[in-house]
Amino acid sequence: MRETILVFEAVQLCMDDDSVTRLDASRSPEEARRLRQSLEPDERERVERTVAELLDLLGRTHTMAVLSEFAFASGPLRFSDLETALEVPANTLSTRLRELTDAGLLGRTAYDEVPPRVEYEPTEKARAIFPVFGHLHRWAVSYEL
């Protein structure tokens, strides 16, 4: 967990004045340590708690796949779009969409139409972590587990 926090803090170091995340693999663990040390204890605890909650959410079955679809989509997605693209059981997909919406990572718009139509789209909070997906995909091109 400690290594994960240091990696996350290295990512945080890459934020510009407008708090728009720019991922930069050249940031060192030492820079992450300096950032961590510069935080007040209450803020450090909040950051660590937020990282733990995010990793818990992202570690749930199919959550990364769902968010990845949004990261590479050109607009809002419907439940059926995700179900087809991911081949995820409907009840699992429904649960993940609800969790991501509750976490503020996805917005949900229900239209008053027949048949009913619901669209999901990423919030600014989600878009801020989308560069991670590009890095993970580039990593996967070069490496295997």
Which pLDDT tens digit goes with each residue over 32-68? 788 888 889 999 999 899 989 999 999 999 999 999 9
Whether 145 is in a domain gets the answer no
Task: Collect contacts of 129-138 with beta carbons under 8 A, ≥24 apart.
Answer: 129/21, 129/54, 129/67, 130/67, 130/70, 130/71, 131/21, 131/22, 131/23, 132/11, 132/23, 133/67, 133/68, 133/71, 133/72, 134/71, 135/23, 135/25
The domain tally of the chain equals 2
Note whether residue 135 is domain-resident.
no
**Is residue 52 domain-shared with residue 101, that is, in the same domain?**
no
Whether residue 33 lies inside any domain: the answer is yes
Q: What residues make up the domain containing 96?
A: 63-126
Q: What is the pTM of this model?
A: 0.74
| Range in 31-40, 88-97, 102-111 the model is least confident about | 31-40
The DSSP result for 11-58, as a single string, is: HHHTB-TT--B---TT--HHHHHHHHHHS-HHHHHHHHHHHHHHHHHH
Same domain for 69 and 112, yes or no, is: yes
Residues 88 and 35 in one domain: no
